[in-house]
Structure 1
Amino acid sequence: MASRSSSESARRAGMSSTGRTVVPSDRTRKAMAKRLAARTSAMTTATLAQMTQRHSWFRALSADDRSWISIVARNGIDGFVRWFADDEAEPYSPTDVFDVAPRSMTRKISLHQTVDLVRTTIEVVEEQIEEKMPRGDRSVLSNAIAHYSREVAFAAAEVYARAAEQRGTWDERLEALVVDAIVRDDVDDEQLTSRASTLGWKPGSKLCVVVGAVGSSRALHGLRRAAEHAHLSVLAAVQSDRMVAVISGAALSDDASAVGAAEPLAEHFGEGPVVVGPVVGDLTGAPGSARSALSAARAAVAWPEGPRLIASADVIPERVLAGDRQAVEWLVAEVFTPLNEATGDLMDTCVSFLDHGGSVEGTGRAMYIHPNTVRYRLKKIQDVTGYSPTDPREAYLLRLAVTLGRLRG
């Protein structure tokens, strides 16, 4: 469960409490330790019998895992003898109890279950002391096992704390690899999904990518806590001067809802715009959302008047002018083509309205139609494209869409 304890930690454990604390006389203590050692095999057998009887989680373990538990229990009982004997030539630390098991056991056996193991072992040893040891040894050994159990409890906490720290460091590295793979789109879907699943990511969840400047040194920690409070799953990493987060949750249904879901996270990014990429169906579509968000983050500098938290589609005009081919394709396919294929002279009305500076009357005179007909067509243009010619920002986008679409023939 942990790496071999250093001699320094052993000395510290010895200074805190040892058998010498209970029985100062070396001769008396070693004689009692010898009598105690004769009972260790019986104590181990009794401990495993009690573990099987008392704890369903122990019975559910594989034979291999139960074998490791038995080795730990035996090591703990043998360790009590060594701890009590307190031979200065062989210093002993209670942390050594867990050194015999592989490090992966901290994932299979929880700290709570380890406490069950320690408690059951101590209770069995106490019973064996009262029933099997000479009367003159019982009081002293009962006092000694109470001291030892406290040391082992502290050791267990140390082992799991160290394992959690190491696991946290590994998870952060794996998370950074997953985010980097999404940003660069250079890993196969199966590998990406597998790595994310290791981090607890649920497959098949709608998600989007959020990009912004790096905030404080604790930005990632704050972002994860905010995502947890907002009931969002998040994979996040710092890349150079930007922070990239992949978020998922029940609140994400479309691009507008994604911006709303990302609002609690925005404060943990640095200064400048925070861009939310389009919502995609699952993790395999995440690179596309990342491309849109990163492109929009670069182009947003050309629209400083815009809001701090924006959707990548809100920066389509700037992305197009910056040479983003994905934005060009989207604008032609999603805006120009529906408008060009619509009936009712919507294309001509849109162009005339833009050419006349947004004047309904001027458009009507130029096209020889009533102003109310112009208003009706403007409403139809918004229905078809999702953008209104009467809004200056959206009119800018429509003009670009018409120009690019005509250039494409």
Structure 2
Amino acid sequence: MQHRPLPLPGLMLAFVGGIAIMVLAGDFWLGLAVLTIWAASLFLTPRESDAQAPPPPNALFQTDRLRDFLEPLGLPYLVIEGGRIILANAAAREVLGAHIVQQDARVALRHPEAVRLLDREGGGQAIVRGLTGSRSIWHVSLLPIDATSTMVELVNRTAEADISRAHTDFVANASHELRTPLASIIGYAETLIEAEGGARIGPETSLRFHRTILRESKRLQALVEDLMSLSRIEAEKHELPPAIFDLGDMARTVASGIAALHGEHRIRLEDTDAPLPVRGDRQQVDQLLRNLVDNGLKYGAEDAPVTIALSRLDSDQAEMVVTDRGPGIAAEHLPHLTRRFYRTDPGRSRAVGGTGLGLAIVKHIVERHRGRLDIRSRLGEGTAITVRLPLQGDDAPDRHPA
């Protein structure tokens, strides 16, 4: 136990004051009484160390510590006391709004499933759909802190659900696309086998069946190759290729090959004298350009060439525009063209051998190369697809991500 020091200066002053009263007033007992009361008051005065001692921990102090702990966390957290939100970290305020602090928790969350969870004793968890949007999915956990306070943790599961839905749709679409040529191949093959067993079938019909089997087999092969290509590109989308090559040289090579195969009247190259060094995967950029030109040849006008126009932009980007003079694409289809298996005209696409994955592959290649893709089309005039890639080299900044 710590002993309290005697207040000697105060006692001396009290003694002098008492003697002065005795002498001046001539009353011994009055002076003694004043001396006694004065001295006693000195011992009843709080000690300086007691006055300066830190206050014991309280609810406000604990709330400040909890706020400091939760504020930098990436997940949204709420602290509820007496049915009212007394604390919301930055992530929670961004999701639900800064106004929720000091608001009734039921009013702030405004969702029947979340309100039922708040009424549950002893904590718990629930999946809440539509908490922050019509398609949002949140995993909400209720964690009791003490008898009066509760912590709410919010985990956003919307992206996971979207990815799962996309995978399901992809498998369903891929299965449908694979099933169609397989059904044709199996049907015609069975017919030919039955013909060998005694059924009569003419040579012209037999040849037509064999050609159909070959066409559907090539379509199936192209579909499998595009699926494998898309899978590889997606697996490498976070890796920027190290090679640097000239986009103009590649375009000239592709245009020359197309001219040799389809005729010079079907392809036109509007070249530029400026070098166009880009960082990329040669094979993928070649595939990108061939996919765009192939689409132009399939869906464009047969009497008009597909044009490849190259230019160097002031923003240190190489621009490549592939244009056809076909019937064009309606505006409502444009935002969906890069989706897997999306077709504006499924019958025509299958007739010309399209897999529905060409522009999806183009989109992923452009994203991997940190470029930009733009599709413009007008009915009756044709379609122009623009690809911009960052330039590299001594006279262009290296845009490799840090």
User: Where is the strand percentage greater, Structure 1 or Structure 2?
Assistant: 2
RCO higher in structure (CA 8 A, sep ≥6)? 1
Normalising by structure 1, we get a TM-score of 0.23
Q: Which of 1 and 2 has greater Rg?
A: 2
User: Where is the helix percentage greater, Structure 1 or Structure 2?
Assistant: 1
